[in-house]
Amino acid sequence: RFPATRLSFVLSLRSGGEAERQRACERLVALYWKPLYKYVRIKWNRSSEDAQDLVQGFFAVALERETLAAFDPSRASLRTFLRLLVDRYASNQRKAACRKKRGGDAVALDFEAAERELARVASSSPDPEELLRREWVRALFGDCVARLREELHGAGRELQLRVFEAMNLEDADARPSYRELAERLGVTETKVTNDLSAARRRFRVIVLETLREVTASEEEFRAEARAVLGVDP
């Protein structure tokens, strides 16, 4: 079942209270900064330093209520809207205008990690828009895995978490069979399969809840669910 409709963080940015807007800002940055950074590096052929300045400067502008008020969910997805905004920002801002002082009130973003990830795909000359889409899914799943870990840790379901990580996060070549994992953990194969099913179901719910949060219309939510999970509502 799909989670019930709740206030998108896009709407929170425009009309919520101060605390709600702050939380929405943090969620927007957390889920979109790295995909947009990599997009800027490839599409605009910017150096790492210039791309850092541009992305930080872009978010300083994009998080203004007046900027986001232009978003029309009937015309484009939030991801497409942000891509068009960053393209416009990159083309209109000179390097000196884009440069923002690092530190202080600047958002702390791990650009070095983003560079390491980008190095693994840049040699294949990816299409910038396809790169943005893939990196958005990567960021989404990373955020949802972190939420699942926190939830299972808090509930004392460490075994369930270990099963999920072994079967979903390890490289395919290193992934154990159900029997091997059961022997490693000292449980039955049935316990492994049951815990894996439960963790995967909860992960799917978390993904759908997050998609609800980061989309601004039912149509966009359903389109993203189909694209990310292959779910056809």
Each residue's pLDDT expressed in tens, for the chain with a length of 233 residues: 444 444 577 777 766 577 877 788 888 888 999 999 999 999 888 889 999 999 998 988 887 766 776 778 788 888 888 999 999 988 876 444 434 444 444 556 777 877 777 777 666 667 888 889 888 999 999 999 999 999 999 999 999 999 999 999 988 888 999 999 999 999 999 999 999 999 999 999 999 999 988 888 888 899 999 999 987 75
DSSP state of 173: G
Q: How many CA atoms lie within 13 A of 21 on its CB side?
A: 10
Task: Give the model's pLDDT for residue 215.
Answer: 86
Burial annotation 207-228 (CB, 10 A radius, 16+ → b, else e): bbbbbbbbbbbeebbbebbeeb
Task: Give the model's pLDDT for residue 107.
Answer: 55
Answer whether 188's CB lies under 8 Å from 182's CB: yes
| Rounded Cα–Cα distance for residues 147 and 165 (Å) | 13
Specify the pTM.
Answer: 0.74
Query: Letter for the amino acid at 101?
Result: K
Task: Give the model's pLDDT for residue 217.
Answer: 83
Task: Give the model's pLDDT for residue 127.
Answer: 86
* CA angle (187, 190, 194) in 5-degree steps: 105
Own/partner long-range contacts of 114-123 (Cβ < 8 Å, ≥24 apart):
114/34, 114/37, 114/38, 115/48, 117/34, 117/38, 118/38, 118/41, 118/42, 122/41, 122/42
| Rounded Cα–Cα distance for residues 231 and 233 (Å) | 6
| Rounded Cα–Cα distance for residues 31 and 66 (Å) | 21
